[in-house]
Structure 1
């Protein structure tokens, strides 16, 4: 996951992670924001608005003998000021990044 320069109110991503890894990292990525976790979704309070995340497992990406787990993740912000949305997503992306090399 790379930090983007702009995050729209609605977008989708193909994330290279398993649901278990995603759920382990998610609370830290949400920071101090209150959230309600459900099956395949989380609702996060951000100021006066909220963000709804929904995800489902995709077939693994296969490269030779390598199998990479994937999730399709949808991001929807409602009533969240643009500056707060940008700040929130930059924090989430930085937290979800993996080391490489």
Structure 2
């Protein structure tokens, strides 16, 4: 996506513990604070991103069951170019193998 809106949701196929490990690596070098077990606030140029998550229903493909997380992104005062740069960075750190 080239233009990230101020608020949006996305689903990710991973368990909460795995997400937190991925997120910590992705946030290295950023000022951020955990706000409970399922929310972080990240300082970005000109504003902040509040990101929270909750487990979703497992996806099942034949005998394979994959956990899911519902992620909600809320940018506040972050210019579009900064939103795009941060999301590109986050995606690079959270996308895993595949075809």
Report the TM range for the smaller structure's normalisation.
Answer: over 0.9
Structure 1: stretches of 5+ with no match in the other structure: none
Q: 1:23 maps to what in 2?
A: 20
What is the alpha-carbon root mean square deviation over aligned residues?
1.1
Equivalent residues in 2 for 1:1-101, closer than 5 Å? 4-37=1-34, 38-101=36-99
Question: Following superposition, which runs of at least 4 residues in structure 1 exceed 2 angstroms of deviation?
Answer: none
TM-score (norm 2): 0.92
TM-score, with structure 1 as normaliser: 0.90
Give the Cα separation in 2 of the matches to 1:30 and 1:63. 32
Distance in structure 2 (CA, Å) of the matches to 1:14 and 1:45: 23
Structure 2, unmatched stretches of 5+, are: none
